[in-house]
Structure 1
Amino acid sequence: MSSSAFFKFSPPMRLQPLACAVAWMVGAVGTAHAQSQPVSTPPAAVLPDVTVSASGLQQTSSDMTMPVSVLEGDALVQQRQSNLGETLDGEPGIHSSHFGAGASRPIIRGMDGPRVRLLSDGAPIHDASTISPDHAVVADPLLATQIEVLRGPAALIHGGGAIGGVVNVLDGKVPTAVPAKGYEGSAELRASSATHERAGAFSLTGGAGNIAIHLEGSQGQADDYRVGRGWSSGRKVEGSFNDTDSASLGVSWVGERGYLGLAYSRQNAYYGLPGHNHSDEGCHVHGLHLHCGSHGAALEHDDEHDHDHGEEHGVPVVDLRSERVDVRGELRNPLPGFSALRLRAGKTDYRHHEVEEGTIATTFRNQAHDARVELQHLPIAGWRGLLGMQVSQRRFEAEGEEAYIQPTDTRTQGVFLLEEYRWDRWRFEAALRHERQTVLAAGSGLDASHHGTSVALGAVWKLVPGYQLTASWSHAKRLPTAEELYARGLHMATRTYELGNASLRTETAQNIDLGLRKTAGDTTFDVSIFHNRVKNYIYGRTVDELDGLQLLQYSQQDATLTGLEGRLHQRLHRHWGVTLFGDVVRARLEGGNLLPRIPAARLGARLEGQWQAWQGHAEWVQVARQTRVAAFESPTPGYGMLHLGLSYHARTSSGQPWQVYLRARNLNDRLAYAHTSFIKEAAPLAGRNVTVGVRMDF
């Protein structure tokens, strides 16, 4: 299947909305250049304090009882990549699962998959990314207005299973207000060297009276990316191309006390799967042992398939389509004693084909719907908070060569409560959530029911002006997923044979987090240490290995994860500053064994400068060698990378802000491997890559 065959529209029609927006933007920038008025903002003497939407009570980042990372504005423009995992990679405590350029999930404090809850403006994202790292996350960073990463009591209201954290991607697909001048929007265009990427996005909101309409879209096309010098397989990762496009149309009724809106979104993706290996075809299990080929003839099977996958079979690709309808609303002062009523509901129709040699080999489908209602109450004896309920149903099925998970129907119900109390220089927070889940395996008739109650407590003490101490404790329950319960079969993308375990029990995590922040002055910092003890930790235990193919059996064992993460900024001059940042996590099973794919320790330094309308930075990131490996896992060498960034900000004569930016990553062209990746040897990290972009808001 060719890339053009994937899209239902011809290229001219598919590009038309984006091309019109980009053409308008480029023309406007060209006209405005001679009349532009530089924008100069002196370096801030305080840490940025932004509202965290996913906190439930609209808390600011300085009020949070746990570390929170918020990307917005120019920082988001500079940092975002083609997928969510790579966009967040580099924030303290956050890494990427890295599966080529098309698929990547964030890893938080060494945890990934279902332990990291992904949200779209507070509503769960339904795709197939929790099932396997080669499945893309259906969230487009190019269209995000803000990305939040949080943990602690506030994260509990989004699911007890989010013991790693919550990532909330904010967007404008459902407008919440009518623009004062009748319209507003943005347009952006960028290109990159290592992948020959061409990408762009636009957003437009308009309306009159009580009606607001929002239209947005993006498109990106990238070839196989180049890696650093010295890789034995050459300079490019075969099958690492990535073509995506997204579009959304939303309409809202906006009144004095709130809004109610509806949006339809569609995302298409067509990307390669590096490292796919046909030598594993026909492999099966005998008990807890792998066997490949006919009985007694495993070597003959290997000889038959001893050829280059790319030359004779072509690179497998994922042909993905996701459609979603969102309903969002908020009503202020809905009832006596209550300040706000919020609604989030959605229906998702997701499917992706895994295509080999032009033929669909496997199809994954995920049909889901969810609804969430929050009711925020006015203070009662000094306590302010919200209560709510959430329900979801997910019908997942796979068919074809790699249908290693039988069709399942997962139904989840949850109720939650979040409260805060302020006294003098203290802020206390408490959260409670109860969940019940039923998973029915349609193929076998088996079903599994689990339930759990989670609780969290936290406090912030502003001990003196500019200094804060934070502490939190949580006791969280995570319910097993359908994949962990019922998986059985070969997964060639990760070179694993997976065995589910229908006897898995509820996972219980107890986490303690202590932090210290300095938020004002020439020196600011935010550092935290955490200790997470998980009873009945669920993981894929490798019980056998044959020629690189691993047999994973989902098992349970107590585990401990301990780590440190932080960031320190020192203002050197009104135009200069330096930032140090880093993180480390240690993960161990009871008995001394180590967990697989735990990220290595990382330390970085950034020199930042600003003069009039110019901003720039130079950053060095050093990642340590990872020698603390699990059974059947190989060590990963460390590496150091140099990144640079430069941007120019101005306004047109009519006051419209625009910017031109340049960023260079891995400028030293270092060959590097991500220890968190299943395919680290087949898909190293990208080599030297220079991105140039232009953006305008209007």
Structure 2
Amino acid sequence: MKKIHLLLVVLVTFFTLPTYANVLAEFKGKVTDANTKEPLSGATVYISDLKATTTTNVNGEFTFTNVPAKGKFLVEVRYVGYKTTSQQVDLSLAKEITFALESSVIESAEVVITGTPYSSNNKTNSLAVVSVNREKLAQSAGTNIIDAISKVPGISQVTTGGAISKPSIRGLGYNRVLTIVDGAREEAQQWGDEHGAEVDQFSANRIEILKGPASLLYGSDALGGVINIIDDLVPPAGDFNGNFTTSHGTNNGLTASSLMLQGNTNGFVYRGRVSYKNAYGFSYKDKTVPNSGFNETNFSTMLGLNKTWGYAHLSLSRFNTNVGLVEEGPDANGDYLDEDGNVISNSDARTRKLGLPFQNINHYRAAINSNILLGGGQLKTTLALQRNIRKEFEESKDEPGLNLGLNSYTYDVKYSFANSGTWEPTIGVQGMHQTNVNAGDEFLIPDYVSDNIGVFAYLKRNFKNGALNAGVRYDYKNIDGADLFENGTQVFKAFNNNFSNISGSLGFAFELAKNLNLKGNVGSGFRAPNIAELGANGKHEGTFRYEVGNSNLKQETSLQFDLGLAYNAEKVTLGLNAYSNRIYNYIYPGNFNNETIPYDEEDGTTSILPLYRFVQTDAQFLGGEASIDFHLIKSLHFENTFAYVRAKNLADNSALPFIPAASLNNELRFEPTIKGLSDSFIKVGVTNVFKQNRFDSFETETDGYTLLDAGIGTSLKVKNGKINIWLTGQNLTDKLYYNHQSRYKPEGIYNPGRNVSLGISVPLL
């Protein structure tokens, strides 16, 4: 209760900050064509560190109000058909500036990265970062937010049908990949196989993906990378608008809709969103998988102030989903049977009413993000309170078997000192207090209390043609697991573990020649074992195994070398990335010597389950990503990406489990100019996933496969924005295939077959 009171005091303090820092200030500018000098109307101008945005008028002019009278900020300008540009601007010197944009078929060659202390363009950032915008997310027709980014090179997903996807970056997933929502790390029992990202996919304006160890800036659980889900920037002052988006998919009948309204009244900003998704069981060929449907309801709101002293935004959200769990695969004839042995017809399997077993998840989040301009620098804070309630229903829809309640209090405070644009020093402190309580009559993990804290220092040195960065961090984590006895039998034995580590990072980014950039980074990562790895003892619905934890596990540490080369010319872009990641005390679950355990079911029967134990070894991950895009004709794009990772157990040189297969993606995209329309496109894509013949002893080989995708879309300009319409198809040949990371593969359940999705997005007001 004291923590709640403290959080409320902080919230009130932030929202009553005096506006003495600066008088009302304006920043004006103009956006023009670099060749013709003609003004560009409708260009979008961003200042990410102030969460401010505006657009140019018919004369190409823009104005920011309620901005600081002094300070250096990165200003980003985007306009369709032109190369995105960014420039650091000193507001105390430049009250008006002109951005001259170069015409280009490659609009996003320069990407602004916000997941660093100071927003920066990708050319001066040593980390391997990819950004995916809202349009790409929508056109992917993903059934969830991780599914929507799964074709980014180096990104894969551990799937449980269409409802649940867990991100994997360069072969590392679970608690090695940190998801950031509303500026705060998501804490939602993410150690579990069937625990996906619990965030409204409609809320993402774009997603930044940091590949490789990001422990320096984000601490434990960022050893493999970060998925940073970024909400919309606030609208310009005096603006009030909205949007309605809806789509429908044929494979599982997915209907997904979202309504958003937002405004800015003299610096008082606000946003509200409600979203709903509903799907029945997914299909492949002529089979529908019973009880694999889901439904999801999301509510979120944001209230805040954008003033001359900076900004403070309070975000509140509730994520609710019900997901059907599949217990058994098809029989020898490929049919799905009910409890009495009768064949379940496709029509019965397509009911939107979930049967047993299923899980219900509620995730509540309250977060306040602020950037206060203080002493010439920037004080950025994120304080968050999260409550995750996870229930699994097996025998009754009223009484859950497993019932976990997780409370997490997180804080992230960073101060970036005043800089001249050359040196950018930052110091920070981050931490979390967490409690977990079992309220059901089944148990998988113990009750526990966990506390961790991390402090870091980061320094970036900018040069004319590049930048150097370095940092050091210290982390400490304590976790106490509680005893649990049931009917005189000890289910969990109490333990107390402490973990600490020093992490570091050193990187560079350098422009070798015009349009040719080289970047490299060496960084160490750190991850403390999660609660399941330390204390699990049981089986829960949606998995096909029994897990036993090991409270003697050591922390994981890593050392990764990353090297990247990027070439961005007028008609060709090329990207190459190679990495080597050595992980010490790598933790993974294994089924050794075909060990099994009897498990008493609720109906009185006994199942024999494979027993998995958590063990450790030193591991090596080697791999890389490559991309090459040809734009020989302005309206024609030919995009190609390749990703590969090879992971081995250094104890015996054997393969590690759950490693994605190599993949090659090709997409031909035609963007015709049609009078009265904009952003029109026709695309055809081919995804080639290679055979995965490196697998652990308890896994099986997975054959390669080829999938055909296609899409068409356009935009119609209206008074208050654009109406976007798109039609996309995935796996159009209805290919039968298994993805190596599908959790349904061991049960003989194929991945989803053909899907056609129709979507429309309409501006409001």
TM-score, scaled relative to structure 1: 0.85
After superposition, where does 1:235-634 map in structure 2 within 5 Å? Answer: 235-275=287-327, 314-332=355-373, 334-335=374-375, 338-357=376-395, 358=397, 359-379=399-419, 382-400=422-440, 402-443=442-483, 444-543=493-592, 544-546=594-596, 549-590=609-650, 591-612=652-673, 613=678, 614-634=680-700
Q: Which has the higher contact order (CA 8 A, sep 6+)?
A: 1
- What SS does the corresponding residue of 1:239 show, helix, strand or coil? coil
Asked if structure 1 preserves the Cα contact closer than 8 Å seen for 2:630 and 2:638, the reply is yes
1:4-33 CA distance string (max 9 Å, x none): xxxxxxxxxxxxxxxxxxxxxxxxxxxxxx
TM-superposed CA distance for 1:307, in Å, is 5.6
- Greater Cα shift, 58-67 or 318-327: 58-67
Residue number in structure 2 paired with 1:679: 744
1:495-546 CA distance string (max 9 Å, x none): 1221111111121101011111002221101110111111111111222344
- What SS does the corresponding residue of 1:264 show, helix, strand or coil? strand
- What SS does the corresponding residue of 2:552 show, helix, strand or coil? coil
- What SS does the corresponding residue of 1:484 show, helix, strand or coil? helix
TM-superposed CA distance for 1:122, in Å, is 2.5
Asked if structure 2 preserves the Cα contact closer than 8 Å seen for 1:394 and 1:410, the reply is yes
Residue number in structure 2 paired with 1:281: none
1:628-686 CA distance string (max 9 Å, x none): 1101111111110001111111211x252121111101111111212112322444221
Taking the aligned partners of 2:449 and 2:381, their CA distance within structure 1 comes to 24
- What SS does the corresponding residue of 1:378 show, helix, strand or coil? coil
Residue number in structure 2 paired with 1:195: 252
1:324-343 CA distance string (max 9 Å, x none): 111111112x12xx421111
**One-letter code of the match for 1:406?**
P
- What SS does the corresponding residue of 2:654 show, helix, strand or coil? coil
Residue number in structure 2 paired with 1:157: 217
1:149-171 CA distance string (max 9 Å, x none): 01357663012431210001112
Matched, 1:125 2:186: yes
1:545-582 CA distance string (max 9 Å, x none): 44983321111110001011121101121111211111
Change (3 A) 1:671 1:381: closer
TM-superposed CA distance for 1:446, in Å, is 1.8
Taking the aligned partners of 1:153 and 1:592, their CA distance within structure 2 comes to 23
Matched, 1:691 2:748: no
After superposition, where does 1:163-178 map in structure 2 within 5 Å? Answer: 163-172=223-232, 177=234
Taking the aligned partners of 1:82 and 1:181, their CA distance within structure 2 comes to 35
Backbone CA RMSD of aligned residues: 2.5
1:41-78 CA distance string (max 9 Å, x none): 48624653222221222122333213211111322221
Taking the aligned partners of 2:401 and 2:328, their CA distance within structure 1 comes to 13
Change (3 A) 1:256 1:154: farther
Change (3 A) 1:538 1:651: same
State the percentage of identical aligned residues.
25
Higher helix share: 1
TM-superposed CA distance for 1:275, in Å, is 3.3
Matched, 1:223 2:280: yes
Aligned match for 1:640, one of 706, 709, 721: 706
1:355-384 CA distance string (max 9 Å, x none): 124242211221111111111112389421
Moved over 6 A (4+): 308-313
- What SS does the corresponding residue of 2:146 show, helix, strand or coil? helix
Change (3 A) 1:674 1:101: same
1:430-479 CA distance string (max 9 Å, x none): 12221100000122442101111110111111100000111111122221
Asked if structure 2 preserves the Cα contact closer than 8 Å seen for 1:645 and 1:664, the reply is yes
Change (3 A) 1:154 1:81: same
Change (3 A) 1:59 1:152: farther
In structure 2, stretches of 5+ residues that fail to align are 1-78, 83-103, 330-338, 349-353, 484-492, 597-606
Asked if structure 2 preserves the Cα contact closer than 8 Å seen for 1:495 and 1:548, the reply is no
Taking the aligned partners of 2:316 and 2:107, their CA distance within structure 1 comes to 39
Taking the aligned partners of 1:75 and 1:89, their CA distance within structure 2 comes to 12
- What SS does the corresponding residue of 2:209 show, helix, strand or coil? strand
TM-superposed CA distance for 1:309, in Å, is 11
Residue number in structure 1 paired with 2:60: none
TM-superposed CA distance for 1:276, in Å, is 5.3
Change (3 A) 1:314 1:248: closer
TM-score, scaled relative to structure 2: 0.77
1:281-313 CA distance string (max 9 Å, x none): xxxxxxxxxxxxxxxxxxxxxxxx996898999
Asked if structure 1 preserves the Cα contact closer than 8 Å seen for 2:726 and 2:759, the reply is yes
**One-letter code of the match for 1:608?**
R
TM-superposed CA distance for 1:314, in Å, is 4.7
**One-letter code of the match for 1:328?**
N
Taking the aligned partners of 1:181 and 1:270, their CA distance within structure 2 comes to 39
Change (3 A) 1:440 1:669: same
- What SS does the corresponding residue of 2:363 show, helix, strand or coil? strand
Asked if structure 2 preserves the Cα contact closer than 8 Å seen for 1:160 and 1:454, the reply is no
Change (3 A) 1:668 1:548: farther
In structure 1, stretches of 5+ residues that fail to align are 1-38, 278-304
Change (3 A) 1:668 1:565: same
Matched, 1:142 2:202: yes
Asked if structure 1 preserves the Cα contact closer than 8 Å seen for 2:80 and 2:107, the reply is no
**One-letter code of the match for 1:215?**
G
Taking the aligned partners of 1:181 and 1:80, their CA distance within structure 2 comes to 34
Asked if structure 2 preserves the Cα contact closer than 8 Å seen for 1:155 and 1:166, the reply is no
Taking the aligned partners of 2:328 and 2:498, their CA distance within structure 1 comes to 35
Aligned match for 1:651, one of 702, 713, 717: 717
Change (3 A) 1:142 1:381: closer
Taking the aligned partners of 2:524 and 2:722, their CA distance within structure 1 comes to 46
**One-letter code of the match for 2:648?**
R
Matched, 1:108 2:169: yes
Change (3 A) 1:531 1:477: same
